[in-house]
Every structure is written in structure tokens, then in C-alpha cells.
Amino acid sequence: MTSMLPPTRDLPPGRQARIRAEVERAVTGRSRRRWLFPVLAGVASVAAVATSVALLPPTPGPPAPAVQVTTSPPPKEPDFGVPPEEVAAIEKGCAKIATAGEAKLYQLLEGQIRFALLYTENSALDCTIGVGGMEYNSGFSGTEVKWLPGHFSVDHSGASAGGDLNLKPVYKGVPGIRTVLGRVDDTVARVTYTIDGKTVEASIANGTYAVRIYYPSDWQIPNIDDQGVLHFYDAAGTLLGTGADVWKKCFVDPQGKIVQGDRRADPATCVPATPWKPR
């Protein structure tokens, strides 16, 4: 037996690493592994995270205010106090006797003589009902119905003698009549008519006015050409003008056509007419 140490030798390749691993296992009781991830797997992982974030439900906010929808009611048909079929019969009968095309009723006045005021697209009709054995008897006055010469128009002014002066016995006892009628805008609240020393109130309805003055059945139309005076007032009682005012100027539509006044005038000197909007 010798006391000399053996000579130093190099470990075989790989042996040192295995010895180190065995020592670590003995100390920690577990093996050590190294995980390797391909670069593409890392990119896919990031994409997956990004996708999951995008799909998260949005954070609820305050409720949206309720949307209120306002609709305009359909235009209300005028109430004449008679059934709709009677209104239709008056419109048809008055238009037919005047050969004026389709007409619309705007006023129906009860009095000594039943009277209807109607308009077509281009005329005013003053129609009496049940007079002289005629169911309908309509006068005709051409006018530019779509346009107003200012706040008001004078579409008809006339008179008829009492029925006793008529040669037909069927008219005996029928009163004489003065009639004035036309259209107004929303600013007109009152219309008066002065003639023969008296002043009467006009009936205003549906964007129109009408005056009927009755005389005895033997009344004759005066020889003096007196058309009377119309006065138009607003709701405050302010005078807007007289019937004569619509003839003092000429009025034109947007195309420059004269719709009221002297048709021979230069349209450039005229005043713009206003659209008529029945109430």
C-alpha cells in the first residue's frame, strides 16, 4: 500500500455536467428543465391576448335619452253643421250650375236665403240654395285664388233686385240682396261693410269673409253706383286697410305675373302677392 495520490485526470466530455445535475437533484429533490418557445408562438400569444381584449363587452354608460317624435295632426275639415254628404251635394250642385269645375265649400250661411261660398282653383262662387224653384243657383267671379293682394281680397261685389220685380212668379217674395265676399289671411280678425247708411259685420271663416244684406222683395238696385266700403281690422282693432286698397296697386306672383290690379302695368312696379292659406 502506498501513500501517494493518484495522478490528476481530466473527466470525460459531458461528465462534469452530469455530476452537477446529480448534485442539484440530491439537494432540491426536483429536476431542472429549460422550456424553449418558438418566436412565432410568442407572437401568436400576443395576438390572442389582443383579440380577447377587443372582444370584451363595452362598459355600460348612461341610457340614451328617449327620442320624441312629433307628428302634425291632419288638417281638420270645416264643420258646417250639416252631414258630409250634404256638403258634397252643395259642392257638386253649385259647381255644376256655374260650369266652374271642382269646387270646395268655405262658408254656408243660413238666413232669409241659404247661401254658400265656394272656391275653385281659379274662381269664387256665390251660390244660393233653394231660391226661385232652383236647387242651386251660382254666380261666378274669376280670381287668382292662390294669391292675396296683401292681407285681403275683394273677389265679388254685387246686388240683385227683389223678386217682386221679376217677371217670373216663382221669385215673388224673394228679398233683394247685396253680396260682398273675398279671402283674408290670418291677421284679419274683423271685416265690416258700410253702405246705404248702415254698417254690418261680415262672416269670417276658413280664410274667407262674406257679407249678405237683405232688402224688401220690391227693392230696386239704386241708380247711383255705390259699392260701399269694406274695412279690415286685426285682432287689436287696428285698421289694416279698405277694400279700395286692393285696386290702388298691382300685385305679382313669384314669376312676375300680375295677379291683381291693372294688368297693363309694368310688373316691375308691382308689389309681391302673398300665398292664400285657408284656415
Closest CA to 22 of 31, 14, 13: 31
DSSP per position, 41-73:
HHHHHHHHHHHHHHTSPPPP-PPPPPPPP--PP
pLDDT band at residue 75 using 50, 70 and 90 as cut-offs? low
Q: What is the CA radius of gyration of the chain?
A: 49
Whether the CB-CB separation of 144 and 155 falls below 8 Å is answered with no
Cell numbers placing 179: 253680396
CA distances from 270 to 37, 77, 235, 258, 260 (A): 93, 35, 28, 8, 9
CA distances from 217 to 91, 112, 212 (A): 28, 11, 15
Partnered with residue 137 across adjacent β-strands are 128
* pLDDT at 151 (0 to 100): 95
Work out the average pLDDT over 126-145.
91
Give the chain's mean pLDDT.
Answer: 82
* pLDDT at 38 (0 to 100): 42
Cell numbers placing 104: 270646395
pLDDT band at residue 101 using 50, 70 and 90 as cut-offs? confident
* pLDDT at 100 (0 to 100): 82
pLDDT band at residue 155 using 50, 70 and 90 as cut-offs? very high
Distance (Å, whole) CA 132 – CA 217 = 13
* pLDDT at 79 (0 to 100): 84
pLDDT band at residue 137 using 50, 70 and 90 as cut-offs? very high
Strands 271-272 and 104-109: unpaired
pLDDT band at residue 19 using 50, 70 and 90 as cut-offs? low
Whether the CB-CB separation of 212 and 205 falls below 8 Å is answered with no
pLDDT band at residue 139 using 50, 70 and 90 as cut-offs? confident
| pLDDT tens sequence across 227-267 | 899 999 999 999 999 999 988 899 999 999 999 988 899 99
The pLDDT > 90 percentage for the chain reads 59
Question: CB neighbours (10 Å) of residue 21?
Answer: 12
Residue entry with cell 400576443 = 46
pLDDT band at residue 11 using 50, 70 and 90 as cut-offs? low
pTM over 0.75: no
> H-helix or E-strand containing 39?
helix 39-54
- For the chain, the 3-state helix, strand and coil shares in percent, each to the nearest 5, are 20, 30, 50
* pLDDT at 97 (0 to 100): 92
Contacts of 153 (CB under 8 A, 6+ apart): 143, 182, 183, 184, 246, 260, 276
pLDDT band at residue 28 using 50, 70 and 90 as cut-offs? very low
Contacts of 53 (CB under 8 A, 6+ apart): none
Question: CB neighbours (10 Å) of residue 91?
Answer: 19
* Residue 152, CB-side half-sphere exposure with 13 Å CA sphere: 27
Q: Indicate whether 32 pLDDT > 60.
A: no
CA distances from 195 to 82, 112, 199 (A): 32, 19, 7
3-state secondary structure of 26: helix
User: What is the strand order of the sheet 271-272 is part of?
Assistant: 258-260, 251-252, 271-272
